[in-house]
Every structure is written in C-alpha cells, then in structure tokens.
Structure 1
C-alpha cells in the first residue's frame, strides 16, 4: 500500500525544443503537496492510514467517523458517518480494498468497503469493561489487534484470497513474558518479516516482540532509550518510526538484522507536532495525525495531518 513516490515535487517531462522556437521550452514543477491538511473542527482524530495512490483515511475517537482525503490536494470529506458512542482508534486498508477499524471502547473491530463506506463485517472480541481495542496490523493470514486494557491480542484469521471469516471465527491470544505486564497500555503494532509482531508499550516506554503463535514475548533492546508515550508504529525495512504522542517526538530507530534491537538515529520534533497519534509513509515523507490529547476537545478545536521528512 505504501507507494514510493516523491512528495515534494512531481517532475514534468519537458517537451523537446523545436528548432522553430526562439527559446527552449521550460518545464514548470507541479505544486508541492500541502505540508498541512486541515481536518474538520472537533473531529478528534486518532488513527491514520494511507491507501491507494494519495488517498488517506483518518478515524475519530470521539464518534467513530472516518474521513477520507487526498494528500495531493488536501481536500476530503467524511466517508463513514459518526455514530455517538462508537469511537474508533487504529485503521488499516487491506489488499482487497477493505478498511479495518479498531473500535476502541466498543471491544471489537469493523470492516468497511473503502470506496462506499458500507460495513462488510463486525467482530465483537469482548464485552469486558476496561478493554480498549487500539491498533491493528494486517498480514496475509490474519489481522492482529492490540488491547490497551488487557494483556491479549485479538486474531482474525483470513481465508483464501483474504476472504473474511465468520463473525465468531476470531481468537483471543493471551500474552506472556514482558507483553503480559499489567497496565503497560499496548498501542501501536507492526509485523516483522519473520512473522513476529512488534508492539509499543506506551506507559513503560518499551517495545516488545511477540510470537503470534504462542503469545510469548521479549523486550527489544533500545540501548536504554525510553519510548514513553509511544502511540503509533510505522516500519519500512529496518527503519522504525515510533510516534510518541504527548512528548511531541517521533523517534527514528534503526533496527538490527534480526529486529531484536535498535538504535535511535534521530528525533523528529517541532511546533507542527501537537500530540501526534500515528502516521504512515508515502515516498520520502511521513504523514502524522495530530490528536491534540493535551487539550479538551470542543466542536471548535482544530485538528490536522502534517507532513514531515522521513
């Protein structure tokens, strides 16, 4: 889904200079993609994913609305209408053109047609109070969800060609080892090339590597660096972006060959980051959504997506 495109300028092919023209033809660079994209006031965003082309989707943790926009133009509109009490956190687009959302305090996940917004499926993982289905990652065989209030992962297996299973076909995977730490607040999740999963523990500021078959886990060695307030994770090759919300920092971590340890190469920060929740890559840029968790959300509170160099 991630396209290796240049986001600053789209080169134009200059026309060949004709001998009858007194001056050579001049190529005019296209307008650069906007560095900031405004979301509707009061939207209270949390999840973001980039889909096909330059399409971007953002969830609302206030009322479950999903906004769809274009990173090239900065324009967009609500695709999935708000439903009071139906908050959504993370979301991802699968190869079949379906949007999967983590339904946060609702204890489940929903699947939508990314073009029409029509709901295709719903999986109710738990009705236990204090559960918060927060983020997800899609692999060829399954979709994995974190729960910020419980030491488990929810696993929705996928059939041949990505076929959706029955509503009751999911399983609950208990975690062990450091991933079973109470009150760690599991948040962002990505899949590693060998099939293991990497999960952010937001409150202790750690990353844990989880075996999706057994639920066993081990800590990732960051050389003493704390990723406290780690929210979203974005992985490209051996570069991991850890988006730390209330600290207004994005840590750029170079992972080793086995993804068991990493070294922080740099930190991205600046006034454009306002409690960033998560992000996604497009070409040479990282797009992050500002959740503004440090202010009280009102109908007039402004929210946005911002672009930073990856």
Structure 2
C-alpha cells in the first residue's frame, strides 16, 4: 500500500466519523484531534492546488484560489459546496494565491507575475490591476492583509520588501513600503523552499502591528507601524515548523504549518511581542496545509498538497495529489468544544 493509499483509507475513516486520538506533541500546546467532526468541501478540478483563503466576517462567505490554474472559488461556511467565482484564465490570471477581502472588494495576488488584481465580489467584475514590474523571475508575491485603515500590506518571499496598497476610489496604488535590509529580518537567497522567506501576514485590530511569518526560519516577526520597527516575536522552541498562512482573531494567532500538517494556535501578548502555544489541531485531511481562517466557532483549513506530483510550488513529490482538493471545516475550540459543522454556522 502506498503512502497516498494509506491516506485514502484514513480519509474514508474520517468521513465515516471514526477517529483515533493522536499522540501528544512534545511542545506545550495541547493537541486536538478534530477529525471526528470534520467536514470536507471538495474543490472541483484535478490541478487546483489551492493555496489561500479569504473570509467575510459578516457573512461567512469565503474565497479560495488555485495556484496552478488561477480559478477562484466561492463558498459559505456550513454549506459544504463551492461555486466558481472567477474561472481560470479570466483577465489573464493563471495564478491566484494570496487573497484578502476589503469590504466588497476581493484582492488577489498572482505571485511570480508580480500582478495584483481586485474584483467586485457582488458582480465578479475586475476593478483594478497593479504590477510591481519585476516579471516572472524577479518576485514572489506571497500573502497580504488588510489593515483597519483600508490599506493592504503584501509580502514578497524572495525580495526583502514589504509592499503597501492604497486606494483611490476603487483603483489600487502599489508602493514599496519598507526594505528589511538592516533589520532583524534577514532574507536568504536559495533554490526551492529554503529561499521562501516572508509569507503569511496579519494586522492587529488597532492597526498598530503587523505579524509576519518567516517560513525558512520557523519564526514570526512583529512590525510596529508607523515607525517601521521590526522585532522577532518570542515563541517557545519547537512550536513553529514551516508555518505559512496566518489568521488573527483578537490575540489568538492561527498558523497553518506545511510539513507537520497541522494548525497551531498561539496566544499573543498585548503588544504582540511574544506568543504562547495554546492548541495544535490535527486532521487526516490536512495535506500540506497553507492557509487557515476562523469564522465563529468554525475553522477552515486549505490543504495545498504542494508535496505531491505536479505541484507548482517550491516543493513537490512523486505521488499524485489525492482528489478532490478540499476545504476542511472543524471546530475552532479546544477539546470538547468542537461541534458538528454539518449543522451550519
């Protein structure tokens, strides 16, 4: 039986609502096996390789992008189904990775192209396009966050820069906001995953801080605005490993982690300078997870399967991806707090 075949067996067991508690991790957070009540929402297509998720806190409507085809899907927490919001290739878009919502505007990154597009979520109409001008080999736009003032901040995984998007009406304006040269964030130039530096990013509710993930260092950094001071977030050793997409709710930070195939929840201090692990969420459906979002009592996790054959990412594998690609919904609480997501939000 192959590795992927074993995963299929495990998945079948999950969908039959039978689960086995996993052994506790060595790190302080309490490990939560949520698969007994996991709900899987399939993403149609054999080459989706989803990477990011943006969720509307008002409605629970969410958007997921395909890195390999550029399709943007739309679903709703509790529905169990998605629809195509924007098809592959629309507006010249063949990559849709970082996604974020700014009211009724969906902002979409297309990483190596350096192009950023925005869409009206009500009509699907393309509103604006900006380009950092670095071409297909000189940039890697990874993730973005919308700050309380409406501006957006964008990470570049291979250039030591943080971009900012501002709006004039519904038109975007892109600028290089800061250079990390000379700060504690030291970029590494290397082939493959070793050269993926900053990726996930979130903004505090008051707009004072940004927290960014540095994948190839298993670290988090705090950026204090508007002074642009950078400092490393203190996290116990061994808690973070290839963390990717981040989601912030209050002082709780959720991080999707690629290789451990889990989501770790950390409690941040009031000034975002330190983080204490709270829970580690695991599920057999988590296959190289790259993004996480929380709505109400539900947690949604995107499994990119970038470690499989045909991956468009910096890592790949020899086994084909397990179909369908999926969004996994589980309870976002601790032990005993997960509820059945089939009942809706």
TM-score range, shorter-chain basis?
A: 0.7 to 0.9
Match of 2:201 in 1: 189
Tell me what 1:170 maps to. Answer: 175
Q: Is the partner of 2:51 in helix, strand or coil?
A: strand
What is the CA RMSD across the aligned residues, in angstroms? 2.2
1:204 aligns with 2:217: yes
Give the distance between the partners of 1:71 and 1:238, measured in 2 at CA: 23
Q: Greater Rg, structure 1 or structure 2?
A: 1
What does 1:63-74 align with in structure 2 at a 5 Å threshold?
63-74=69-80
Q: Write the mapping of 1:50-89 to structure 2, written as runs, cut at 5 A.
A: 50-51=55-56, 52-83=58-89, 86-89=94-97
Question: Take 1:85 and 1:110, find their aligned partners in 2: how far apart are those partners?
Answer: 9
Higher RCO (CA-CA < 8 Å; seq separation 6+): 2
Greater helix fraction, Structure 1 or Structure 2:
2
Equivalent position to 2:127, from 120, 129, 143? 120
- Structure 1, unpaired ranges of 5+: 1-32
- Higher mean displacement: 241-250 or 205-214: 205-214
Contact 1:35 1:307 (C-alpha < 8 Å) held by counterparts: yes
Please name the residue that 2:163 is paired with. 154
Which is worse superposed, 118-127 or 67-76? 67-76
Residues 272-291 of structure 1: pairs in structure 2 closer than 5 A: 272-291=285-304
Cα shift readout 1:129-188 (whole Å, capped 9, x = no counterpart): 2411111001224111011111111111235xxx33455x53342124122332452111
TM-score (normalised: structure 1): 0.81
Superposed displacement of residue 215, structure 1: 4.2
Candidates 144, 167, 170, aligned match of 1:136: 144
Tell me the TM-score normalised to structure 2 length: 0.73
Shift in alpha-carbon separation, 1:127–1:307, aligned structure 2, 3 A: same
Q: Which residue number in structure 1 is paired with residue 21 of structure 2?
A: none
Q: 1: distance between equivalents of 2:216 and 2:172?
A: 35
Q: SS state of the match for residue 170, structure 1? A: strand
Alpha-carbon distance between aligned partners in 2 of 1:102 and 1:211, rounded to the nearest angstrom: 24
Are 1:41 and 1:299, in contact at CA under 8 Å, matched by a contact in 2?
no
Which ranges in structure 2 are unaligned for 5 or more consecutive residues? 1-36, 189-194, 311-319, 333-345
Distance 1:166 1:202, change over 3 A: closer
* Distance in 2, Cα, partners of 1:299 & 1:61: 14
Is the 2:239–2:277 Cα contact (8 Å) retained in structure 1? no
Shift in Å, 1:229: 1.2
